[in-house]
Amino acid sequence: MVKVKKLELLDPKLFIGIGALLIIWLIFVSVVPPEYKPDAIAARPRLIITAEASGQVVLDQIIRVDPGTNAFDAMLSVSTVGYQDYGSMGVMVESINGTNPKENEFWKLFVNGEQAALGISGIIINEDTTIEWKTEAIEEYSG
């Protein structure tokens, strides 16, 4: 006859095992930075940055940023940008990932599908935002 050992609810081995799992979980929760916890990631705005020159996509990135992030700083974090800094007037983008507009063209900025009212360095990201760059011809002034 085979003896079957009855599992007791207060078995010391079971108690120690559950306690060890609880301690491991508590260590994990306290060590993982808040920005990597699912709720914190979902609360961060999503920024989509694209750039297209002459029908060629030269930048296409989706990133999460902290609220209050400057759009230009976010762009620098995911691409190589050639620009001129005009101090308090902001920056003028000259190239994106090594691509310059053709002669008599410039990089035109759109935010959420609308032509931007500010330059890239004046845009602060507080909610999901789409930044688009497209090359456009410089219209000659005929006076």
pLDDT digits (tens, 9 = 90+) for 13-30: 777 888 888 888 788 777
Is residue 132 located within the same domain as residue 80?
A: yes
Please state the domain count of the chain: 2
Residue 16, domain extent: 10-43
Q: What pLDDT, on a 0 to 100 scale, did the predictor assign at position 36? A: 62
Asked whether residue 1 is assigned to any structural domain, the reply reads no
128-137 pLDDT, tens digit per residue, is: 999 999 999 9
Under 8 Å between Cβ of 28 and 74: no
Asked whether residue 97 is assigned to any structural domain, the reply reads yes
Asked whether residue 114 is assigned to any structural domain, the reply reads yes
Is residue 31 located within the same domain as residue 53?
A: no
Is residue 93 located within the same domain as residue 48?
A: yes
Q: pTM for the full model? A: 0.69
Amino acid at 137: A
Is residue 84 located within the same domain as residue 15?
A: no
